[in-house]
């Protein structure tokens, strides 16, 4: 039997990778992958001259599978290091059960300072743990019901039918809203020294904000201008709303959000909120502005993922409650972590990280 080799993807492999993607996931996913290929792998500002970080398993001239990752710069225990998020991994059916997935995972993590696995499937989660990754998940999930009536109507209509669901849902929604105002009230505060602006781009001030705020975190992907423009302005599959907070004219924080219709309910996603971790006023002002915009457009429920104790405090102040999270998170570091692995409360990981919001 020909030996299975794991090696870097060749440029001539791209079409075969896409064909394999369609074989594993279906033609529709193949075309979606083609549309985002250039953005996700080629336009990433951390992609080097050698091209995307994609490892492939090859048996002779046959491509058996791949492991693709998203390279980032990571503030990690007091300094920036090279890291990458593990993302697209798949094998041909005949290649499964032969240990090839383990070889792909191991090769990827052996060639980066810090390997990051987020939003893992049960199979991937088990494999990460088998490979002795540090299990730091799940990333906490937060939600805030903004229109209890709409939420109640949707849930009851599924069991009682649309007519009865609407009638009973209005009554249940009124009771639910009253209960939430008592149990989890939103603390609205005025911030006279903070101005909130919507924006359609990222100025060089975002580089300054990153340099000023990064040391307040033990772990955080570098959020400079180049990264933010690539991640949120050039993404071919999403459109985001951008807001910034200024104090005395100086940029001190930003927020990224979006809205979507999901199974008959309007959802509002808070994708990222970034500031110096202890600048609660700036983050609170941004959260208030985002929630007001959600209400104005009929959002029934606001949602966010956030692994950071200070951000969790800010969300709780705005009436968010913590729910069950499916976002498992594992990390493997090849370099000194500078105490980061013992300081998880100061990590900053949100829905906008990796390719979760795709």
pLDDT digits over 230-282, tens only? 999 999 889 999 999 999 999 999 999 999 998 889 999 999 999 999 999 99
What is the DSSP annotation of 312-342? HHHHHHTT-EEE-----EEEEESS--TTGGG
Q: Which residues pair with 69 in a beta bridge?
A: 86
Please check whether residue 120 is in contact with residue 330, taking contact to mean a CB–CB distance below 8 angstroms: yes
Please check the confidence at residue 22 and state whether its pLDDT lies above 90: no
Task: Write down all domains in the chain, each with its CATH number in brackets.
Answer: 4-135 (3.40.630.30), 141-146+187-324 (3.40.630.30)
**What are the structure tokens assigned to 145, written together?**
């019901």
Please check the confidence at residue 95 and state whether its pLDDT lies above 80: no
| Phi, psi of 68, deg, nearest 5 | -105, 145
Residue 300 pLDDT class (50, 70, 90 cuts)? very high
Please check whether residue 209 is in contact with residue 252, taking contact to mean a CB–CB distance below 8 angstroms: yes
- Radius of gyration (C-alpha) of the chain in whole angstroms: 22
Determine what percent of the chain is predicted with pLDDT higher than 90.
Answer: 53
Side-chain-side CA neighbours of residue 50 (13 Å): 7
CA nearest neighbour of 308 among 230, 220, 246: 220
Query: What is the pTM for the complete model shown?
Result: 0.89
CA nearest neighbour of 65 among 93, 38, 42, 37: 93
Residue 207 CA to residue 202 CA, distance in Å, equals: 9
Taking the mean position of all CA atoms in its chain, how far away is CA 348?
Answer: 11
Please check whether residue 357 is in contact with residue 271, taking contact to mean a CB–CB distance below 8 angstroms: yes
**What are the structure tokens assigned to 95, written together?**
């290649």
Residue 280 CA to residue 25 CA, distance in Å, equals: 43
Residue 282 CA to residue 299 CA, distance in Å, equals: 23
**What are the structure tokens assigned to 180, written together?**
């939430």
H helix or E strand, kind and range, residue 219? strand 219-221
CA nearest neighbour of 274 among 75, 2, 3, 64: 75
Higher-confidence residue: 51 or 145?
Answer: 145
Please check the confidence at residue 154 and state whether its pLDDT lies above 70: no
**What are the structure tokens assigned to 282, written together?**
């700036």
H helix or E strand, kind and range, residue 74? strand 62-76
Residue 258 CA to residue 256 CA, distance in Å, equals: 7
| Phi, psi of 258, deg, nearest 5 | -160, 170
The CA–CA distances, whole Å, from 327 to 15, 82, 185, 287, 304 equal: 31, 23, 27, 22, 12
By DSSP bridging, strand 114-118 and strand 79-91 are parallel
Cα angle 109, 111, 117 (rounded to 5 degrees) comes to 25
Q: Give first-to-last CA distance, the chain, whole Å.
A: 39
Higher-confidence residue: 79 or 165?
Answer: 79
């Amino acid at each position: 039997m020909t030996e299975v080799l794991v090696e870097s993807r060749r440029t001539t492999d791209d079409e075969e990778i896409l064909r394999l993607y369609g074989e594993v996931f279906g033609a529709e996913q193949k075309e979606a992958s083609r549309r985002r290929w250039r953005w996700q792998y080629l336009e990433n500002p951390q992609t080097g001259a050698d091209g995307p970080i994609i490892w492939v398993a090859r048996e002779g001239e046959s491509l058996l599978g791949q492991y693709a990752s998203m390279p980032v710069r990571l503030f990690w225990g007091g300094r920036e290091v090279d890291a990458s998020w593990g993302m697209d991994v798949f094998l041909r059916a005949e290649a499964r059960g032969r240990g090839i997935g383990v070889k792909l995972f191991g090769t990827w993590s052996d060639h980066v300072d810090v390997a990051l696995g987020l939003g893992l499937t049960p199979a991937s989660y088990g494999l990460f743990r088998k490979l002795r990754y540090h299990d730091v998940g799940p990333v906490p999930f937060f939600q805030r019901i903004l229109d209890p009536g709409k939420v109640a109507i949707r849930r009851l209509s599924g069991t009682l039918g649309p007519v009865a669901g609407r009638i009973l849902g209005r009554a249940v929604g009124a009771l639910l809203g009253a209960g939430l105002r008592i149990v989890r009230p939103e603390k609205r505060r005025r911030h006279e020294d903070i101005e909130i602006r919507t924006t359609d781009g990222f100025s060089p001030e975002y580089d300054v904000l990153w340099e000023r705020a990064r040391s307040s975190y033990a772990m955080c992907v570098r959020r400079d201008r180049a990264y933010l423009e690539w991640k949120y302005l050039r993404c071919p599959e999403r459109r985001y709303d951008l807001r910034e907070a200024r104090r005395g004219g100086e940029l001190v924080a930003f927020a990224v959000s979006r809205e979507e219709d999901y199974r008959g309910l309007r959802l509002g996603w808070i994708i990222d909120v970034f500031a110096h971790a202890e600048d609660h006023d700036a983050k609170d002002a941004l959260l208030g502005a985002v929630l007001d915009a959600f209400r104005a457009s009929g959002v029934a429920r606001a949602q966010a993922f956030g692994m950071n104790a200070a951000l969790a405090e800010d969300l709780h102040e705005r009436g968010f409650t913590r729910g069950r999270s499916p976002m498992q998170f594992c990390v493997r570091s090849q370099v000194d972590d500078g105490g980061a692995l013992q300081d998880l409360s100061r990590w900053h990981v949100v829905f906008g990280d990796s390719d979760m919001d795709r």
